[in-house]
Amino acid sequence: MNPQGDTSLSGLSVLVVDDERLLRRRLSAHLDALGAAVTEAATLAEACDCAVAQSFDFILLDIHLPDGSGLDLMRENRIPDSTGVVVMTAQGGVEGAVEAMRLGAVDYLVKPFDYGLLPLVMKRARHARQTRRAVEHARENDGQKSFFFGDALAPIREQLDRIVASDRRIGTQLPPVLIIGETGTGKTTIARWLHQNGPRAPEPLIEVNCSALPESLAEAELFGNERGAFTDARSARQGLFEAAHGGSLLLDELPSLNPAVQAKVLTAIEDRTIRRLGGNKQIQVDVRVIAATSRPLSELVNSGEFRRDLMHRLDLFRVELPPLRARGHDILQLADVLLEQLSRRHRLPRRQISEDGRKRLLTYRWPGNVRELAHELERGLVFEDSASLNLAHLPGDSDSLTSAVPGDWLSPGFRFPDEGFVLEDAVNRLVQLALKQSDGNISGAARMLGVTRDFVRYRLYGDRREKS
């Protein structure tokens, strides 16, 4: 977001404090024309009363008032941190302006000034507040970490490239992205990749683990709150949707939010406005929402855990990450990449993975996916003393270790289910997969499968003909 762009102040609330009636009226009329909600005060006492009764985004504050100094509002902490103060001072009042900046004012204007400067000053200050809120929220953002795609995720990389290309064409009001994958498959890292490679890379990426938000505080955390909205809400606070304005907001495990908060997320996506808890003012936000879930949303809708309308709104750009066990020999390349990173982190010499260790990597099922792989490699790096890592702590037997054949299309960790296996269904599934990879071309699918075109046609139409 460029804070010097749009001159609209729609949705902002401003308190104008000045004892000159004509100046107040002109300022109010100008701000009102730009879409701001304006309140006027002529004295320090009136300004104190307004600041107590209502939360403001900005205060235009004259230093010299009939009943005292406007700076007393700041000295006595009458103005919450969420409110930006722009000081107005006459010629020769620079000393007071300097003190105001030291007390926390976002800017100062010397009278008489061009009213056209107000949108620039306020938007610049709002942008700085967003950045501060983003920094406050970010604990340890490993956003610069690259993502290893490998051969198995080449279609995912192509899909992401298409999304980024679309983002660059659109520029603003980007549609949401839905990332689906088991725990540990890299959903957060994919979201970071998408943000960092898109047009909003210079702006904040706010990451929220929705499952970690207490139900009673989730709405306030996401949408902000006004002073007094709940116990301990001593001042107005910007929500994470506001903090992500112009950037991206990752809502990890979004389905864990209750239906009421889900409804507000839907409104934020559709109308691009939010309302703080305890407030009645609509605040415009331009946020690219990236939602992540470990379970298909259709299942959650059927079980009543997720709103159907929100699912349809999110399910536009869908990215489905396969589990690590389905990525074949990419596991070995990924392990090498992770091991190099871990060796640097622990300041240890780079070690290779032994042949037995590599077979164990291929035969293990990886229920924790990439996250578990990283942890197991780190465990081996720290505790194994051998020249190469054997990863003997991983489950595996001699039969499974000898069955990992390089280039084999079958996952070495596959086991027949206890309830049995339907071979016909598996064959039909392979045919459908070949057709998908060949864009529906029967001859191409037949070449992939090593069968005749008639075989593929039979698998597609044979059952239908027999029934007719």
The pLDDT assigned to 161 comes to: 94
Regarding the domain delimited by 423-467, which CATH topology (the fold level of the hierarchy) does it fall under? Arc Repressor Mutant, subunit A (1.10.10)
Are residues 292 and 189 in contact, defined by beta-carbon separation less than 8 angstroms? no
CA dist list (Å): 149 to 146, 154, 189, 368, 409: 9, 6, 11, 18, 18
Peptide bond into 112 cis (omega under 30): yes
The pLDDT assigned to 140 comes to: 39
| Full DSSP string of 393-416 | TS---HHHHHT--TT-SS-TT---
CA dist list (Å): 451 to 230, 303, 410, 465: 68, 42, 19, 20
Are residues 38 and 63 in contact, defined by beta-carbon separation less than 8 angstroms? no
CB-neighbour burial class of residue 289 (10 A; exposed 0-12, middle 13-18, buried 19+):
buried
**CATH number belonging to the domain at 13-125, selected among 3.40.50.2300, 3.30.800.10, 3.20.20.370, 3.40.47.10:** 3.40.50.2300
Domain spans of the chain?
13-125, 154-320, 335-402, 423-467
The pLDDT assigned to 3 comes to: 38
The pLDDT assigned to 192 comes to: 93
Helix ranges restricted to H, 272-316: 297-302, 308-314
Are residues 458 and 465 in contact, defined by beta-carbon separation less than 8 angstroms? no
CA dist list (Å): 305 to 161, 252, 257: 32, 16, 9
Helix ranges restricted to H, 315-452: 330-346, 355-363, 369-383, 398-402, 423-437, 442-449
Query: pLDDT per position in the chain (468 positions), as tens?
Result: 333 345 677 778 899 999 889 988 999 999 888 888 899 999 999 999 888 888 888 899 998 899 988 888 888 888 877 788 888 887 666 677 788 888 888 888 888 888 888 888 888 777 766 666 665 555 434 434 457 788 888 899 999 999 999 999 988 889 999 999 999 999 999 999 999 999 998 888 999 999 999 888 899 999 988 877 777 777 778 889 998 999 999 999 999 999 999 999 999 999 999 998 888 888 889 999 999 999 989 989 999 999 999 999 999 999 999 999 888 889 999 999 999 989 998 999 989 999 999 999 988 889 899 999 999 999 999 999 888 999 988 875 444 444 445 455 665 556 677 677 788 888 888 998 888 888 888 988 888 888 898 899 888 876 554 444
Assign domain 154-320 to its CATH superfamily: P-loop containing nucleotide triphosphate hydrolases (3.40.50.300)
The pLDDT assigned to 310 comes to: 96
In the CATH hierarchy, which top-level class contains the domain 335-402? mainly alpha
Q: What is the largest CA-CA distance in the chain?
A: 96
Same fold, 13-125 and 423-467: no
**Using CA atoms, how far apart are residues 312 and 319, in angstroms rounded to an integer?**
15
The secondary element (H helix, E strand) that includes residue 108 is: strand 107-110
The pLDDT assigned to 144 comes to: 40
**Using CA atoms, how far apart are residues 402 and 420, in angstroms rounded to an integer?**
25
